[in-house]
Amino acid sequence: MGAGVIGKGGGGGRRGRRHGGRARPMAEINVTPFVDVMLVLLIIFMVAAPLMVVGVPVELPKTQATALPTEAEEPLTVTLTADGTILIQTTETPAAELVDKLRAVATERDSTRIYLRADGSVSYDQVMQVMGALNRGGFSDIGLVTDSVDPVGEAG
């Protein structure tokens, strides 16, 4: 596959081996299989990456903010839907139990980062109430998740 033997003489048959006869190893590396594997892995990750997004449908507000850097732990996400339902990851949680559940989760995690996904139709007051609960639950680094919008397409 990647290595071969090259004879000393340029001709074929017995004529090329007259002068002492030892063949030397080929010193070139065949990178084609490596490139093929890398391209297949790239396609697999491109297809699988969108499937890793938390699956609660929320109409996020549009902003021109840049994305936050990723971290080693799986990001913890709290979602506030249009009807006021609160979900930790994909588990529905009553507002009265939110702080207690967050404190239990915070003791098991290394990071104090949490992401809040709130529907654009939810009032500012409701979002701030949930952010206060996140802070009381032990998470001081709160990221607000939005959809990005192209600044060229914006008017004004």
Q: How many Å apart are CA 74 and CA 30, to the nearest integer?
A: 38
pLDDT, tens digit (0-9, with 9 covering 90-100), for 66-75 = 766 655 667 7
pLDDT, tens digit (0-9, with 9 covering 90-100), for 102-116 = 888 888 888 788 888
Answering whether pTM is above 0.85, one says: no
Q: How many Å apart are CA 77 and CA 88, to the nearest integer?
A: 6
Spatial strand order in the sheet of 77-80: 91-93, 86-88, 77-80, 113-118, 141-144
